[in-house]
Homo-oligomer: A and B are copies of this chain.
């Protein structure tokens, strides 16, 4: 391509999990929440009038950021930036803190978008393999980079590094540590207090999973105000539309709905984990709204993936080193989980 940048020639672009158009599908492949968002969200959106369409939205999303700061235990909006999904937050972190040619450190395996964003930015992607329990190896702590992207709980493993290990990393690492807490509301603990304690730590969150707002695109980063000020320079001037800002505020306000939904997902995750183990899958305790299930039998994992697909059940299969014998399965409703387990029983006999 004559006009495009050379660095794009190697980039395929992120391949999102399949989004089928038909309704008949049990969709356990993109870690969406199986339960709806708080009804308060649609109520808030229904109140938006013609002026919310016609006029520019608040460019710095002040009310939303203030609501997030309160939720996350920070004094005010100066500690938070809101973005057009976690995608934008991650891309902004690169554009704000990494020069082309600099290194970006991640464990392997992890969220595959990290690598693509790093390539698009012209930075150098450095991976350090997790051990066989999906924990950081000692070598990880010796690596040098401008930015470390640490998904906690990690995707697609579902495993969270112990807080003490992350704390050690934040202390020893010379660059920025971005802790991606996309799945943390399903986990036992969070590192949301770290930005107060470490000047080099960013904690990123999304409303796509625990708040059931994937369709609205809302992510946040929490960090000390000096870092947030730099973030604000690199974001698009009006990066968050008026509806997404209103949806986020309404979702935060309905705490009860949030807690009930998260509790249901965690209960089903527990049942799913036990049932998969009973079928012979090796499943580590997940702290996310999905499980990674390892399978050594016949048909192989890819065969199971295809067989499920033929039955209109979508899960995620990664043809990647260390994951070829695994399926990543989102936690669905109780009924979807029954359907999945029944199909698995039939497929593996």
21 contacts between A and B (CB under 8 A): A3-B175, A8-B96, A19-B55, A19-B56, A27-B55, A36-B50, A36-B54, A45-B243, A46-B46, A53-B214, A53-B216, A54-B215, A55-B215, A57-B217, A84-B84, A84-B241, A85-B239, A87-B236, A95-B120, A113-B237, A120-B233
- Could you say which residues of chain B place their CB within 8 Å of the CB of A16? 56, 59, 237-238
Q: Chain B's nearest CB lies how many Å from the CB of A294? A: 26
Q: Chain B's nearest CB lies how many Å from the CB of A344? A: 24
Would you call A88 an interface residue if the criterion is a C-beta within 8 Å of the partner chain's C-beta atoms? yes
- Could you say which residues of chain B place their CB within 8 Å of the CB of A243? 45, 215-216, 241, 243-244
- Could you say which residues of chain B place their CB within 8 Å of the CB of A91? 236
Partner of A97, one of B4, B30, B229: B4
Partner of A54, one of B1, B32, B229: B32
A200 to B1, CA, bound (A): 11
Contact A5 B97 (CB under 8 A): yes
- Could you say which residues of chain B place their CB within 8 Å of the CB of A68? none
Contact B237 A216 (CB under 8 A): no
Partner of A36, one of B53, B200, B229: B53
- Could you say which residues of chain B place their CB within 8 Å of the CB of A1? 226, 229-230
Q: Chain B's nearest CB lies how many Å from the CB of A131? A: 29
Contact A50 B57 (CB under 8 A): no
Would you call A176 an interface residue if the criterion is a C-beta within 8 Å of the partner chain's C-beta atoms? yes
Q: Chain B's nearest CB lies how many Å from the CB of A25? A: 11
A sample of 16 more A-B contacts (CB under 8 A), given A13-B232, A56-B208, A88-B236, is A14-B237, A16-B237, A30-B56, A32-B55, A36-B50, A41-B53, A42-B48, A42-B49, A42-B53, A50-B212, A54-B214, A87-B236, A87-B238, A87-B239, A113-B237, A217-B238
